[in-house]
Amino acid sequence: MNTPLLVLMSCLLLLPALAAAQAAAPASAQATAAPARPSKLGLCSACHGVDGTSRTPGTPHLGGQDRVYLERALSDYRSGKRQHVPMTSLANALQPKDIEALAAWYAAQPGFKRGTGR
């Protein structure tokens, strides 16, 4: 087989894969975009901070935590499976969409870095 024909056939075979990759790129770019500021963030920020860095001793830092873990923890507080009076009462004011938004927000934050105060 001659070289130009081989190159043409290779290009034709790769075109569908390249087109699929290009079509998927905008979706993956949206997935990594910073989440919108949740409307219920004020319920959490007094203790956990807007960026998820707690300024209160004994209160956990939420910034940079796993999104699924945060969703599960808030859902468990809401259902009563996990008990802590302040968290249970606040979580009961949240709808599932609020929990998802808050978990995405805090998971996207940089997290606590020891020694920097942030």
Q: Are residues 80 and 51 in the same domain?
A: yes
In a domain, 116, yes or no: no
Q: Residue range 75-82: average pLDDT?
A: 97
Range of the domain at 98: 41-108
* Beta carbons of 95 and 48 less than 8 angstroms apart: no
Domain assignment present for 114: no
pLDDT at 106 over 70: yes
- Residues 79, 92 contacting (CB under 8 angstroms): no
Any idea what the CATH number is for the domain that residue 51 is in? 1.10.760.10
pLDDT at 114: 73
- Provide CB contacts within 8 A for 100, sequence distance 6+: 71
Three-state secondary-structure class, residue 67: helix
For residue 28, the model assigns a pLDDT of 46
CA–CA distances in Å: residue 116 to residues 8, 53, 103, 107:
57, 11, 24, 19
Nearest to 61 by CA among 109, 111, 107: 111
25 & 72 share domain: no
Judge whether 9 lies within some domain: yes
Structural contact between residues 40 and 93, judged by C-beta atoms closer than 8 angstroms = yes
Domain count, the chain: 2
29 and 47 housed in the same domain:
no
Whether 115 maps to a domain, the answer reads no
Rounded percentage of the chain residues whose pLDDT exceeds 90 = 63
